Each structure stands twice: as C-alpha cells, then as structure tokens.
Structure 1
Amino acid sequence: MVSALDESVGRVFEALREKRVLEDTVVVFLSSGGGDAFEPAAGSNWPLRGSKGSLWEGGTRTPALLWSTKVAHARVAMQLAHVTDWLPTLYSAAGCNQ
C-alpha cells in the first residue's frame, strides 16, 4: 500500500511540475483518526489505547503532513489539532483576506 501511495503521489507531483503550478501548490495529507474499534480488519492502533471516536490517543493521535515550496524549514509539531484548524491556515496560504 505504501508503494502504491508513493507512486500515485509521485504522479501527482510530476503533473503539477509539467503544468508549472507546483510552486503555487500546498499538499496536505490527513488521517481519519485511528482504526475502528468494531471492525477488526480496519487496522490497529497498538500501542496506543482507544480507537476512532474515542478521546484516548488511539482515536486522536494521527499523522498529518503539509508540503509546500513556501515552507522554509521542516518541523514536527506535537500539539493537538483538529481538521477545522487547517482552514484558516490554508486560506491564508492561498493569499485570501480574512
């Protein structure tokens, strides 16, 4: 699955390069909040406690990634964030006034 995702993202980036819009693009990856507690085939949150919809780490601690040519330095943020927190950030990155 990781190889398929890597290949697909590579194709998207190549298309953006060819169209000469990569410099003005923000790429965001978000997770959906952990594996489902009632569907064994949905995945595991081990070693974290809890599952999707819970307030334990297994339901809230998920990866997120933002990529842009405008981001000067890579960093890792450990603070709790919600998907709704992204809207003002992306709105500002697009050059929109609030």
Structure 2
Amino acid sequence: MTGDDDNRHCPVRPLWLCRLDGAPWPCPQARAALLRDYDGDAVSLAVYLAGMLHDAVGDLYALNPHDVPAPAVLWDRFLAWLGRSRRASP
C-alpha cells in the first residue's frame, strides 16, 4: 500500500463496509482504485477479489448467520463488476 493508506477506500472487517464512505465494499471508488492498482492484470485482480469474497462470507456469517447476503448479491458485489469494467474499457 502507498503512503496514502488513510485516504483509501478499504474494507472495515467484519462488516465489509468502506472505511471512508460506509458503502458496501468494494465501493465504486475502491473498484476504480483496484483497477488502477492492478493495471490491466484482470486475472490477479479476480484472484484477489475472490479471496476477499471468501473472507467476507466467513466474517458476515460469523456476525449473523441468518442475515448473510445472498450468494448472487455477494458475487455481483465482489466479482461481477470486473466483467462490466473490462467491456467498458477500450
């Protein structure tokens, strides 16, 4: 991470909300930063986000096993946007 860590849109665990704006992480600003950080390496970014999804499921289940977001919701939140961002890029 850079010296600007205090200004980054990072997840607050175990809630998986953005530390800066309180939106579900990865928020739009975190997504943009991740795309910049991974600079076109979509496979590595997908592997990273899959690991984060795995951690989020475990954390959210431990918090309240009766109120975990549906798998499709978590898939969209953590990974589905990658395909949309690739189609939007030149």
Pairwise same-fold verdict (TM > 0.5): no
TM-score, L = length of structure 1: 0.29
TM-score, L = length of structure 2: 0.31
Q: From the two aligned structures, give the one with the greater helix fraction.
A: 2
Q: From the two aligned structures, give the one with the greater strand fraction.
A: 1
